[in-house]
Copies of this chain bind each other. A is one copy, B any other.
Amino acid sequence: MTLPVLNRVRVSVDVMGGDHGPSVTLPACQAFLKRHPEVELLLVGHPDALAAAADWPRTQLVPASEVVAMHDPVEVALRKKKDSSMRVAIGLLKGQGAQLPRADACVSAGNTGALMALARYLLKTMDGIDRPAIAASMPNQTGGFTTVLDLGANVDCGPEHLLQFAVMGSALVTSVTENEAPTVGLLNVGEEVIKGSEVIKRTGELLRAADAAGQIRFHGNVEGNDIFKGTTDVVVCDGFVGNVLLKTAEGLGSMVKGKLKAEFTASWLSKLSALLALPVLNRFQAAMDHRRFNGAALLGLRGLVFKSHGSADAFAFERALERAYEAARHQLLDRVHERVAATLQTGAPAAETAE
């Protein structure tokens, strides 16, 4: 069952993207290159910014004259800035770069809306997929992670979209963990309150049918806390709910961190105890460090695009590069394609209900 692993991976990087641009992306790229002797990088950005990487090994510099700003409307990214670093970096996945080789994956910390729109426009969606989705991994209590999608690409989703997310999310988990039959949960509200909206109920039926047909392994409904319990490998939800839960988790995480710090620096006595507890606190902080999980996959496109958090530092950006690298190495694109094709070929509900 295991697909062969790529020996050589080429990643295109939007050096200008994110809140900090080259001051973060370049050090991350340099560390990443050192860690992986089989990686090649295509660095896209302002020639001035790229100058620092002029003598790096296995690196090609690709000039781009424009930058998509963090608050540029999607239209500006799509129609005006035709030579943006983001657009050129994505284009390299199609081999759109004069004498340049084709990239296997692309990473950007830029504006999510623009990245999704450009990726969709340049790469097109995969057969059988109506809407691409954003998938990320969140740490759970088992010590592993839960893959959640969609995290914000689609505000309103129908049952057939959520089924597609389930199929793509399963392929993502399989490609990274070698788990051939990841479990899927449908995010819903507590049974005792309400049984969910009409869309959720119909999605449940589709997912059960797909499970019966052996296309996915459907666990049933899950709730918000199940993400951190690790009840299932994949959790599907619409992009509105997914974005809210992601931001809620970020907000709570940062409050906890702030509070812990405040308590340990409140007095000289608590500072002393912090000093003594430092190894423990460092381990705790490392385990809870959301930067380790940076890098969300844009799934359902004919190319691998990864989105880094806009505020990522070099450590976090390097993690996004790692994720793109792992996905390319394990041929995620083929995995998703296979799963989607299998679901369609068997006359599954996705094919029946898609218009």
Chain A contacts to B: CB under 8 angstroms: 70-71, 111-114, 116, 139-141, 152-156, 187, 189-194, 196-197, 200, 223-229, 237, 239-241, 243-256, 258-260, 263-264, 266, 269-270, 273-274, 276-277, 279-281, 283-284, 287-288, 310
A263–B247 contact, CB under 8 A? no
Interface-centre pick from A153, A187, A255, A276 (highest chain B CB count, 10 A): A255
CB contacts (< 8 Å) of A200 on chain B: these are 155
Nearest CB of B to A121, in Å: 16
Known contacts A228-B251, A245-B224, A248-B224; is-contact A258 B189 (Cβ 8 Å):
no
Alpha-carbon distance between A223 and B244 when the two chains are bound, in angstroms: 7
Alpha-carbon distance between A274 and B112 when the two chains are bound, in angstroms: 42
Q: Of all chain B residues, which has the CB nearest A244?
A: B224
Which single member of B237, B258, B266 contacts A280 (CB below 8 Å)?
A: B266
| Given A155-B200, A224-B249, A253-B256, 5 extra CB contacts under 8 A | A70-B192, A153-B194, A189-B239, A263-B280, A263-B281
Which single member of B193, B196, B283 contacts A112 (CB below 8 Å)?
A: B193
CB contacts (< 8 Å) of A152 on chain B: these are 189-190, 193-194
Nearest CB of B to A107, in Å: 17
Residue pairs across A and B with Cβ atoms less than 8 A apart, 5 shown, are: A139-B255, A153-B193, A153-B194, A189-B244, A270-B279
Alpha-carbon distance between A248 and B112 when the two chains are bound, in angstroms: 23
CB contacts (< 8 Å) of A240 on chain B: these are 189, 196-197, 241
Alpha-carbon distance between A260 and B256 when the two chains are bound, in angstroms: 11
B251–A229 contact, CB under 8 A? yes
B71–A191 contact, CB under 8 A? yes
Q: Of all chain B residues, which has the CB nearest A152?
A: B193
Which single member of B237, B258, B273, B274 contacts A244 (CB below 8 Å)?
A: B237
A194–B155 contact, CB under 8 A? yes
A254–B277 contact, CB under 8 A? no
